[in-house]
Amino acid sequence: MRITRHTLVGAAGLAAAAVALSACSATPSEEAVGDDGVTIDEAHSVGAMEDFEAGVTFKATEPVNFSLMYRDHPNYPVKDDWSVFQHLEEDHNVTFSRTDIPMADYDQKKSLLIGSGEATDIISSTYAGSETQFVSGGAILPVSDYFDYMPNFQQKIEDWGLEEDLQNRRQEDGKIYHLPGLREVPDVQYSVVIREDLWEKAGITEDPATWDEYLEQLEQVKEANPELDYAMSDRWTDATPIGSLLNVMAPNYDTAAGWGYANTSYDEEAGEYVFTGTSDEYRELVADAAALVEAGVLDPEITQSDDQAVQKFISGTSAAISGNTQVIAEYRQKFADSGQGDVPIRLISIPGGPAGDNLPSGRFTSGILISSEAAEKPYFKALLQFVDWLYYSDEGLEFAQWGVEGETFTREADGTRKLMDDIAWSSINAGAPKLLNADYGYSNGVFLLANGSSEELVLSMMTDEIAEWTAQQLEKKEQLPTAPAPLLNEIELEQTSLLQTQLTDAVHAATASFITGQRSVEDDWDAYVTELEGLGSTQLVDTINAALERTQSEG
């Protein structure tokens, strides 16, 4: 993979607009101070290790109990007797007082608890930008003041070249409040899954090099397989119209769309932000997606449920569907359950587009927040050491992902890890009686920040097929650079927040209309642009560019 500075279209919405470019003080000192020279005294160092540094296993010097806001995932409901809890207590002297919140209610209840002053020490599964609303009230810890107590975090930032991304997480006061998951390489999971047998029947043996070529292949597949209703019928469309497909396509059109849509994108050549949904690049993407429907190869039901889309794929009325590195096993199992046996399916290599062969900018994932009240707890320093070890050390990341050697996995002579035969994870050991997350608590988004970790560790949890596909995408594609982040003041944040939702909803609704042919890109685009201007698109961009200019002049 090549990381270069191409023309950038970063997904710079409210979350990105709420951060700054201030320089970070990250030089360890004998006193271990943070950005503002903050030190932790002995009264708040109960359980902390004196010799804690990068690569050292954290074990509290006496038992500590941290309060934890826990996002309870329906696929692996939390269990008190999980191995992950047992080993954290036995091997690291750490236990939790949990506030368990169902995943469906998590974001809302998390905000209520923080806003009412009832936040736990550790607030898990949190995305950047969501902390902004709590900064002025003082409920969230400015964790950048304490980075020097987090040597593993500092080391990963430096070793993986994430300094610029980190600076973009600063708030108006110059401090960072959100601790992100870190990736050594970009996240690449999503593409299109095809019925390889139906592709071969059409005489196609190579993946499409571009999205234009993908359209041509779909037409050939439909012609060669007349029993198909559509060559492609897509899933993950109920919340955002063809959200996954547009998100995958967008970086190669120099824009942001689908799940990754944000109202503002940075035009590096112009040195300013533009409104994404009315840009020429977004128009070209929408026009190409509309061409799939117009050609009769993409199912116009772009707001159908996942079950409907998957059933069409399994029943043979469609030959392609969005997918990722996890659902390949799901699709294969459904084919087997339907009595069709081993139907050949695979992820295609992500096609390129007019802007090249790109992956989105950014290698940060969802992370955690720490309550400001944690700084008053006697175990505060130990808490920072624990968080640093679990989420950012090589040992902690392996523990959170794989579990414990000899219990959940073995290690071969060359260092390769192998899950125990009776434990399954994703496509590994599919059908085994136990699950690594549901039965043991590992590979759990609360303790592993959206799989944010090293390239080796990410690939290690994949089958050979998926690991090879992932490595190919990383090798051939360029990661778009990180956009400069404007620092909005409190008034500007309030003004833009009022515009964001209505503009996003309007863009998604119009996008669906253009793709399904209810509106014509050729005839109705100018009217659509006027509609967005009436909803405040120009005001939004002007506010963000003014903040960007101020941020850069002050920085």
Task: Establish if 555 belongs to a structural domain.
Answer: no
With 90 as the cut, is the pLDDT of residue 117 above it?
A: yes
Q: Show the domain range for 160.
A: 57-186+363-458
Identify whether residues 330 and 288 lie together within a single domain: yes
β-pairing, 318-324 vs 190-195, is antiparallel
Identify whether residues 99 and 228 lie together within a single domain: no
With 90 as the cut, is the pLDDT of residue 21 above it?
A: no
How many structural domains comprise the chain? Answer: 2
Q: Which residues contact 99 (CB under 8 A, 6 or more apart)?
A: 67, 68, 69, 70, 113, 120
Which helix (H) or strand (E) segment holds residue 84: the answer is helix 83-92
Identify whether residues 420 and 334 lie together within a single domain: no
Give the end of a domain, one of 359, 390, 417. Answer: 359
Identify whether residues 133 and 99 lie together within a single domain: yes
Task: Establish if 495 belongs to a structural domain.
Answer: no
Residue 7: per-residue pLDDT: 28
C-alpha separations of 96 from 72, 79, 275 in Å: 14, 13, 45
Residue 230: per-residue pLDDT: 98
> What whole-number distance in Å separates Cα of residue 509 and Cα of residue 539?
20
Identify whether residues 225 and 352 lie together within a single domain: yes
Cβ atoms within 10 Å, residue 97: 10
Beta bridge partners of 352: 210
Task: Establish if 464 belongs to a structural domain.
Answer: no
Q: How confident is the model at residue 118 (pLDDT cuts 50, 70, 90)?
A: very high
Task: Establish if 210 belongs to a structural domain.
Answer: yes
Contact of 250 with 258, CB cutoff 8 Å:
yes
Identify whether residues 108 and 146 lie together within a single domain: yes
- pLDDT tens across 213-231, in order? 999 999 999 999 999 999 9
- pLDDT tens across 254-285, in order? 999 999 999 999 999 999 999 999 999 999 99
Q: How confident is the model at residue 150 (pLDDT cuts 50, 70, 90)?
A: very high
> What whole-number distance in Å separates Cα of residue 504 and Cα of residue 261?
8
Task: Establish if 33 belongs to a structural domain.
Answer: no
> What whole-number distance in Å separates Cα of residue 302 and Cα of residue 238?
8
Identify whether residues 338 and 197 lie together within a single domain: yes
- pLDDT tens across 434-479, in order? 999 999 999 999 999 877 789 999 999 888 999 999 999 999 999 9
Identify whether residues 216 and 288 lie together within a single domain: yes
Average pLDDT score over residue span 523-530: 98
Identify whether residues 312 and 296 lie together within a single domain: yes
Identify whether residues 195 and 323 lie together within a single domain: yes
Residue 18: per-residue pLDDT: 36
Q: What is the mean pLDDT of the chain?
A: 91
Average pLDDT score over residue span 388-404: 97
Average pLDDT score over residue span 331-350: 95
> What whole-number distance in Å separates Cα of residue 168 and Cα of residue 151?
20
Residue 52: per-residue pLDDT: 98
Task: Establish if 173 belongs to a structural domain.
Answer: yes
Residue 536: per-residue pLDDT: 98
Look up the CATH number of the domain holding residue 346. Answer: 3.40.190.10
C-alpha separations of 260 from 11, 19, 251, 320, 375 in Å: 7, 18, 10, 22, 35
- pLDDT tens across 156-196, in order? 999 999 998 998 898 888 899 999 999 999 989 999 999 99
Q: Using alpha carbons, select from 417, 524, 488, 455 the residue that is nearest to residue 19.
A: 488
State the DSSP code for 229. S
Residue 37: per-residue pLDDT: 62
Contact of 407 with 83, CB cutoff 8 Å:
yes
Which ranges in 295-372 belong to alpha helices (H)? 306-315, 327-337
Contact of 464 with 519, CB cutoff 8 Å:
no
With 70 as the cut, is the pLDDT of residue 289 above it?
A: yes
Q: How confident is the model at residue 12 (pLDDT cuts 50, 70, 90)?
A: very low
Average pLDDT score over residue span 87-97: 98
Residue 172: per-residue pLDDT: 86
Identify whether residues 329 and 387 lie together within a single domain: no
Where in 377-457 does DSSP place strands (E)?
A: 409-411, 417-419, 423-424, 434-435
β-pairing, 345-347 vs 190-195, is antiparallel
> What whole-number distance in Å separates Cα of residue 488 and Cα of residue 14?
9
Beta bridge partners of 514: none
Instruction: Note the Cα 3 to chain centre separation in Å.
Output: 18
Identify whether residues 308 and 221 lie together within a single domain: yes
Residue 487: per-residue pLDDT: 87
Q: How confident is the model at residue 238 (pLDDT cuts 50, 70, 90)?
A: confident
With 60 as the cut, is the pLDDT of residue 30 above it?
A: no
Average pLDDT score over residue span 292-309: 96
With 70 as the cut, is the pLDDT of residue 488 above it?
A: yes
Q: What is the pTM of this model?
A: 0.84
Angle, in degrees to the nearest 10, between helices 380-392 and 151-159: 30
Residue 3: per-residue pLDDT: 36
Give the end of a domain, one of 359, 383, 407. Answer: 359
Task: Establish if 274 belongs to a structural domain.
Answer: yes
Q: Which residues contact 41 (CB under 8 A, 6 or more apart)?
A: none
Give the end of a domain, one of 359, 381, 412. Answer: 359
Residue 35: per-residue pLDDT: 59
Residue length, the chain? 555
Task: Establish if 331 belongs to a structural domain.
Answer: yes
Give the rounded percent of residues in the chain with a pLDDT score beyond 70: 93
Residue 111: per-residue pLDDT: 95
